Amino acid sequence: MTASKLDLTGKAIDMLFPMHVVLDDRGRIGGLGPTLERVLGTGVLEADLFDVFTVERPRNVRSMADIRERLGTKLVLRAHLQDGAPIQFRGFALAAADEEGIFLDLSFGLHLSQVVERFGLTEADFKPNDFSIDLFYSFEAQRTLLEDSQKMASALKAAKIEAEKKALQDPLTEIANRGALHRRLEDVLHLPDRGQMFALLHIDLDEFKSINDNFGHSAGDMILLQTAEAMTSFCGPNDLPARLGGDEFALFLAEPPDKEELHAMALRLLNAIAMPIRYNGHSCQVTASIGVVLFHPGQVQNADRLIAHSDIALYDAKTTRSSVKLLSKEMIRRHEETSRLISLIERGLKLSQFVPYFQPQIDSMTGGVCGLEVVARWQTEKEGVLPPARFLETATRANIMSEIDRQVRCKAFTHFAEWKSDGKDIGKLSLNVTASNLRSEAFAAILQTELADAGLTPGDIQLELLESILFDQSDQELIAQCRNLEQAGFALALDDFGTGHSSIATLIETPVATLKIDRSFVSGLDRNPKMQRIAGAMLAMAQNMGLDVLAEGVETREELEFLENCGCRLFQGFYFSPPLSAVEIRKWLDVWAPDLKRVTA
């Protein structure tokens, strides 16, 4: 049997074509498949096809005749339901067996998903070999995946924006960080209009560390926040406040006022920063300094240079204690000079140009040399031998003073060991010690190693502490370090006694064996009764405490004799000898002996 002989029952037709439409010769809807009936309702029966559907494609199909012309080709139809969105169908038309009517077989088009949901269709509503319902599920899955990936994409995007923001923001104060300021300054420096002026204020909190030390880090953080807030309150829409790190801030001003007003504004900013805050019932407060640079695009090559310039002005403000300083050519010149000096010092270190000079210390009772104080000298190629005044401050600021000290010390140790083994009776080698030496835990160990390398022991050494180091008697750490050194066998002396402010209590706590009376109490002493009384009192006190006293800066015989009469027996000064190089002092030691006769005579 061939298909043409097949005569299908109505039930079979409904099953095979659940979405068919039967049209009579005038185009009226005579019958609907069961699924289509559910969707369109029985109300459309007997209605004209074109009242229920429009044919979207091909275009211009508006009559039964148009449809008859396109039998067997693809049609796209749209049904307009009274209640709700239109539904698209795809299908094709066939001539019915009677040749009069038309049989339309449809399936859902575009709106498959919506229709399935809207009418609660299930697999049973589709013909068994129709794939549509599977499509529905795969669309659902696809939609979920798409939504997920869109959510993910926007989450990623938000995260990226957030990360970019963070990268340019200081996490604590939430103002810009150094990177963001840098970017802004680069932009401004590259603007074409060189006539425009901008300002950069470089702000540094004074002694911020002591807030952290005394009140804890959260108090410190509050101060930093307050500073950021104060800066922000001075900002216009195009200005940028930034934290450069630690207690260092900067404020970029896009439209700065004239110099005077700018200065006044900086002072107002300082006042705002210095407002005291309450923390745990305490009031804490910091002052600050500001370095200001006024600049125009192209003035310096890059942002780093500009920030370095504002830093120079800031440094000047700090060192002159003048709170606000506008950068001047003179400051830049000084800065460049300092940089040059630093590189010369560094070169000097490499070439081992730092050497010890020795000044003898004399015991007038025995006439012998009781010690040699080491002082540093810089043997330059062009300017000859330079005293510490020419390099100390710069080297300290550049953090290279300890290297210089070490170079000088090691050479001094070698000479001293040599003279001792030559049989010279020269007492102790006296070294100056700084506060940072004392604070460094490694210092004692380094010293011991250097001594051992030279064949010396701590017993050969006297360490001279500046009186100002011990000013703060509450600095138990320093005092403990002094005790350690004494235990290790070093003798301790207090340098420049009388100029600092050590209390008697400090003297009791610190294991000092010798006091060195500062030269200011010695020069001219023989002619000044008031000084004589002070010197006398100091000596009496030292004697009572069982301390040795050494008078520095003795230049005349009268001074020497006066002090001897007051009971002083240790001396140092030009009267005996200025500081001398190793070669010179070696000679001096050889000729010194005769003079001893003077003292004992």
Partner 1 sequence: MYGMLNEGIRSFITDNHGPEAWQRICESAGLDQLEFERMSSYDDAITYKLIEAICRFTGLPLTEVMDIFGRYWVEFAGASHFGNLMRLAGNSFIEQLKGLDDMHDRILLTMPHLKPPSFEVDQKDDGSCILHYYSEREGLAPMVIGLLHGLAKETGERIEVSQVAVKSEQFDHDIFEVRILDKAPNPTSTEAGI
Residues interacting with partner 1, by CB under 8 A?
57-59, 109-110, 139, 142, 146, 149-150, 153
Report the residue number, 152 or 351, with the smaller CB distance to partner 1: 152
Report the residue number, 62 or 527, with the smaller CB distance to partner 1: 62
CB of 169 to partner 1, least distance (A): 20
Assigned token pair, 458: 């701590």
CB of 114 to partner 1, least distance (A): 10
Assigned token pair, 166: 């963070």
Report the residue number, 103 or 108, with the smaller CB distance to partner 1: 108
CB of 76 to partner 1, least distance (A): 8
Report the residue number, 143 or 282, with the smaller CB distance to partner 1: 143
Do residues 314 and 204 make contact, with C-beta atoms less than 8 angstroms apart? yes
Do residues 189 and 298 make contact, with C-beta atoms less than 8 angstroms apart? yes
Report the residue number, 140 or 337, with the smaller CB distance to partner 1: 140
Rg for the chain (alpha carbons), in Å? Answer: 48
CB of 168 to partner 1, least distance (A): 17
**Which of 426, 418, 416 is CA-nearest to residue 370?**
426
Pairing relation of β-strands 288-295 and 354-363? unpaired
CB of 19 to partner 1, least distance (A): 18
Concatenated DSSP letters of 145-197: HHHHHHHHHHHHHHHHHHHHHHHTB-TTT-SEEHHHHHHHHHHHHT-S-TT--
Question: How far apart are alpha carbons 324 and 208 in whole angstroms?
Answer: 17
Nearby residues of 523 by Cβ (< 8 Å), 6 or more positions away: 553, 555, 559
CB of 23 to partner 1, least distance (A): 24
Q: For the chain, how many residues are written?
A: 601
**Which of 543, 533, 536, 537 is CA-nearest to residue 565?**
536
Do residues 529 and 493 make contact, with C-beta atoms less than 8 angstroms apart? no
Pairing relation of β-strands 514-517 and 491-497? parallel
CB of 165 to partner 1, least distance (A): 15
Which residue's structure tokens are 């088009």?
109
3-class DSSP assignment, residue 428? strand
3-class DSSP assignment, residue 89? strand
CB of 91 to partner 1, least distance (A): 14
Assigned token pair, 214: 């005394």
Report the residue number, 95 or 153, with the smaller CB distance to partner 1: 153
Report the residue number, 113 or 581, with the smaller CB distance to partner 1: 113
CB of 100 to partner 1, least distance (A): 30
3-class DSSP assignment, residue 77? strand
CB of 59 to partner 1, least distance (A): 6
Which residue's structure tokens are 């500001």?
290
Report the residue number, 142 or 503, with the smaller CB distance to partner 1: 142
Report the residue number, 157 or 340, with the smaller CB distance to partner 1: 157
Report the residue number, 162 or 336, with the smaller CB distance to partner 1: 162
Give the DSSP letter of residue 61. Answer: -
Measured distance between the N- and C-terminal CA atoms of the chain, rounded to whole angstroms: 157
